[in-house]
Chains A and B, each alone.
Chain A
Amino acid sequence: MKQVLEFEKPIINLKEKIEELKKITQDSEMDLSQEIQTLEDRLKLLEDDIYGNLQPWDKVLIARHQERPTTLDYIGEIFDDFIEFHGDRLYGDDSAIVAGLAWYKGKPVTIVGHQRGKDTKDNIHRNFGMPHPEGYRKALRHMKQADKFGRPIICFIDTKGAYPGKAAEERGQSEAIARNLMEMSGLRVPIICIVIGEGGSGGALALGVGDRLLMLENSTYSVISPEGAAAVLWKDSSKAQQAAESMKITAGDLKKLGIVDGIIPELKGGAHRDAKKQAERIDTAIERTLGELSNLNGQELLDQRWDKYKQIGSYRDAQLIGD
């Protein structure tokens, strides 16, 4: 049984009706093709209406869809000969983050990304895509290697957040995230970060410092989950829907705020409709973005990175505006 999202129910209902009519036509002499045609036209309109006007909360649901393609799904479609490498050389190997090498259009690239599970068993193995410090340290180890050998880095972001656990705190979750932010700032190779699902706070950001930040159309990126925001701000986690709107967490909102550089369009209904086709769109975006960055040398990359981030923020100088 496929997961049906709340806002999709009218579409599903209509589809079922059409199927019913088709069956009747098949099983009996009655010709209902006229009616079927009418309903199919209506279905198209309804789909355009619903998928064309997705609300922030609808996007949250799509971003969390259990069949939404993961980092490894996209890696398999977009890159050649991916080989995964493990371990942070300090403590262990975190399967909530994958990292390795592959060919992209005939050139080597380093890939790192959060990895969610596909089902419950897999999710337990992947810790629901919520990394421990060793995950971030593994990622950094590979990114520094990319810097050393002069190959671009592609980061796939897809996590609810860094894992809030006892062991994670003991091993320095804060330090691991902070270190990635600092070190990624100084890597002299192109870094492209792509939010493919949920971009949850510092745990997402720790793979998210780069030259370009792209988001899939229905992905989200936020300082706290809508449920968490509702709990903190209004002491009521059931107001998550409202929080999803207020917090400005969709790709479109973040583009307006100047944080996201580009939005990768999704298939109608979401990326999970066809991982292969969605991967083609991501591929196109990576190719174009790498092209833009390929002419810049290491120092130029660093300068542009700083130029971008130093401008992010909203403040006013009371002295200048005289209030």
Chain B
Amino acid sequence: MLKDFFGKKKKYATIPGEDQKLEVPEGLMMKCDGCYKIFYRKEMKKQLFVCPNCGHHHPLRAWVRIESLFDTDSFQEWDKELRSGNPLDFPDYEAKVEKDMKKTGLNEAIVTGKGTIEGHPTAFAVMDSRFRMASMGSVVGEKIARAIERAKEEGIPFIIFCASGGARMQEGVLSLMQMTKTSMAIKRLSDSGGLMISVMTHPTTGGVSASFASLGDYNFAEPGALIGFAGRRIIEQTIREKLPKDFQTSEFLFKHGQLDKVINRHDMKKTISLLLAFHAKDGAKA
């Protein structure tokens, strides 16, 4: 019959292979993950990847984030060459890391450095979730700890934009110990009178949310980010009930008193530079 020619439906779903999934081409257009409307990528970029229609905040690449906050050409990267080892001799771990290095052009899931935001010198760290879900391994922990120590030595604030799936499984307990290392570094900074600001972006979970991400003098989040300790599925299995839709979102955390403020990306630079001004050594309104 004629309709066989047209109405041929696939009897099965095709799942793209690992490589295909990762190598989504940098197209002209992009679809909003929130409202599924299509936009010019260029236009989205101008909007810092906040959907002009629904306000959905898409994950930002590390360097786009840096550009969005720092004064032009002021940012100098630290410890760029640090790379992961394979402490547990985990099969395939090195290959996975190398693949993500190629994909992202980064050496690890975090970029650290120093620059000025509206003239305020600031030590900075930003995680990039494209790299192993920005899970925390030794390099992530080490770069954060070093950045915090430098902030302490130079007497400048430390700001971190968090995004992480949690611990890096392939580094086992060494990954767990990075929670201690980073938290201890923050304690040292804090005791020296240093300012630390944490901004949680989508997603900030597990060992990262249970260490440095929660330890700012100010803890902020972008709208709609997933933030939490335990995974939703594990909780649902444990308590045997469905969780509310907004569970573990920025708004949920805010409602429960866990955040100082939820900040729209368009207001981020303004809010942070105001906060930096409040804490500047001379402390007077410019």
In angstroms, Cα B179 to Cα A168, docked, is 19
Q: Is B247 an interface residue (CB 8 A)?
A: yes
- Contact at A310–B145, with CB atoms within 8 Å? yes
A259-B177, A312-B178, A315-B138 known; 4 new pairs, CB 8 Å cut-off, are: A173-B229, A181-B179, A312-B174, A317-B83
What B residues does A310 contact at CB under 8 A?
145, 181, 184-185
**Minimum CB distance partner of B198 in chain A:** A178
- Contact at B169–A223, with CB atoms within 8 Å? yes
In angstroms, Cα B252 to Cα A171, docked, is 11
Q: Give, as a whole number of angstroms, the nearest-CB distance from B274 to chain A.
A: 24
- Contact at B212–A178, with CB atoms within 8 Å? yes
**Minimum CB distance partner of B141 in chain A:** A313
From B38-46, B232-240, B277-285, give the one contacting chain A. Answer: B232-240
What B residues does A182 contact at CB under 8 A?
183-184, 186-187, 190, 215
From B48-56, B67-75, B84-92, B260-268, give the one contacting chain A. Answer: B84-92
- Contact at B88–A164, with CB atoms within 8 Å? no
Contact A229:B169 (CB < 8 A) given known A164-B234, A177-B210, A313-B181: yes
- A224's contact among B169, B174, B179, B185, by CB below 8 Å, is which? B169
- Which of A170, A177, A208, A313 gathers most chain B CB within 10 Å? A313
Q: Is B231 an interface residue (CB 8 A)?
A: yes
Q: How many A-B residue pairs have CB under 8 A?
A: 187
Encode contact with B along A285-323: 1 for CB under 8 Å, 0 otherwise: 000000000000000000001100110111111111000
In angstroms, Cα B191 to Cα A163, docked, is 31
Q: Is B180 an interface residue (CB 8 A)?
A: yes
Encode contact with A along B190-229: 1 for CB under 8 Å, 0 otherwise: 1100000000000000110111111100000000000111
Q: Give, as a whole number of angstroms, the nearest-CB distance from A100 to chain B.
A: 25
- Contact at A179–B173, with CB atoms within 8 Å? no
Contact A164:B214 (CB < 8 A) given known A223-B175, A313-B174: no
From A144-152, A246-254, A272-280, give the one contacting chain B. Answer: A246-254
Q: Is B248 an interface residue (CB 8 A)?
A: yes
Q: Give, as a whole number of angstroms, the nearest-CB distance from A120 to chain B.
A: 17
- Contact at A312–B181, with CB atoms within 8 Å? yes
Q: Is A232 an interface residue (CB 8 A)?
A: yes
What B residues does A185 contact at CB under 8 A?
180, 183-184, 187-188
In angstroms, Cα B210 to Cα A205, docked, is 10
Contact A181:B235 (CB < 8 A) given known A166-B243, A173-B230, A232-B169: no
Q: Is B256 an interface residue (CB 8 A)?
A: yes
In angstroms, Cα B192 to Cα A186, docked, is 12
What B residues does A162 contact at CB under 8 A?
210, 229-230
What B residues does A315 contact at CB under 8 A?
82-85, 138-139, 142
Q: Is A113 an interface residue (CB 8 A)?
A: no
What A residues does B83 contact at CB under 8 A?
315-318
**Minimum CB distance partner of A181 in chain B:** B183
- A172's contact among B178, B207, B256, by CB below 8 Å, is which? B256
- A165's contact among B190, B210, B235, by CB below 8 Å, is which? B235
Q: Is B34 an interface residue (CB 8 A)?
A: no
- B173's contact among A169, A248, A318, by CB below 8 Å, is which? A248
- B213's contact among A165, A174, A206, by CB below 8 Å, is which? A174
In angstroms, Cα B210 to Cα A163, docked, is 13
**Minimum CB distance partner of A167 in chain B:** B239
**Nearest 3 interchain pairs by C-beta:** A164-B230, A313-B138, A181-B183
Encode contact with B along A89-102: 1 for CB under 8 Å, 0 otherwise: 00000000000000
What B residues does A247 contact at CB under 8 A?
88, 169, 172-173
- Contact at B174–A257, with CB atoms within 8 Å? yes
22 contacts between A and B (CB under 8 A): A164-B231, A169-B230, A169-B235, A173-B229, A174-B209, A174-B213, A181-B210, A182-B186, A182-B215, A185-B183, A185-B188, A201-B176, A201-B207, A202-B179, A205-B180, A206-B210, A229-B169, A246-B88, A257-B173, A259-B174, A313-B174, A314-B84
**Minimum CB distance partner of A177 in chain B:** B210
Q: Give, as a whole number of angstroms, the nearest-CB distance from B181 to chain A.
A: 5
What B residues does A208 contact at CB under 8 A?
180
Q: Is A81 an interface residue (CB 8 A)?
A: no
Q: Is B81 an interface residue (CB 8 A)?
A: yes
- Contact at A164–B229, with CB atoms within 8 Å? yes
What A residues does B235 contact at CB under 8 A?
164-166, 169
Q: Is A31 an interface residue (CB 8 A)?
A: no
Contact A186:B187 (CB < 8 A) given known A166-B239, A173-B229, A205-B180: yes
